[in-house]
Amino acid sequence: MANIDQVWKEYCAFEQGVNKASGEKIASDRLRDYNNVKKISKELETMIKGIIRISIPIPPQNTPAEKRQLDLWNKYINWEKCNPLNCEDCYVLSQRVIYAYEQLLQNFSFHTYIWLSATQYIEQFYRKLLSEGDQTRATELSRTCRDIYRRGVNGPMHDNLIIHLCYADFEETF
């Protein structure tokens, strides 16, 4: 998060402006959260450094630059999967990871394994939410997965038999 130090200073000034005594206590109580956010923000900055987020998707070329970008993206997605924010709600975590996959698919939409990895991840969380009894959120994940499959089979993966078979299996299973 850009300018996190400035936001913290403004927050402390606001709290002290409302009530100096309680403002200092509230700010000191939130200092741990601020330090945690600052640490995670720096980790995120390190993770996404070097990632080119806006590029025209082309079929795999196997160039060193392409491999480097894929490595950086995979490192970032794995970092998100490790739950650095310590989200207690697995649905929120899944949304962060899905967002990362969506960004990756915008740049590397001709790579089969990325489509499969994204949909398998969503299916995994779908099952987890169902086992926890959260039908509403599980249905949302099912829709998201279906949308990703449809984008793939109607777009860059229209000739890819593996994606078509996985999509058919998904529709039969879910």
Q: Please, which pLDDT band fits residue 23 given cuts at 50, 70 and 90?
A: confident
CA dihedral for 19, 21, 24, 29, sign (positive or negative): negative
Domain tally, the chain: 2
132 φ/ψ angles, rounded to the nearest 5 degrees: -85, -5
Q: 99 with 146, same domain?
A: yes
Q: 156: which DSSP letter?
A: T
Amino acid at 58: I
Q: 45 with 116, same domain?
A: no
Q: Over the stretch 43-70, which tens digit does the pLDDT of each residue have?
A: 999 999 999 998 899 999 999 999 999 9
Q: 69 with 105, same domain?
A: yes
DSSP notation for 36-56? HHHHHHHHHHHHHTT---S--
* The residue to which tokens 């999509």 are assigned: 167
Q: 13 with 73, same domain?
A: no
Identify the domain containing residue 33 by its residue range. 1-49
Q: Which of 9, 33, 49 is the last residue of a domain?
A: 49
How far does CA 33 lie from the centroid of its chain?
A: 21
Q: 40 with 61, same domain?
A: no
Q: 63 with 146, same domain?
A: yes
Pick from 118, 106, 52: nearest CA to 80: 118
Q: 83 with 146, same domain?
A: yes
Q: Over the stretch 147-162, which tens digit does the pLDDT of each residue have?
A: 999 999 999 999 999 9
Pick from 115, 109, 111: nearest CA to 57: 109
Q: 97 with 133, same domain?
A: yes
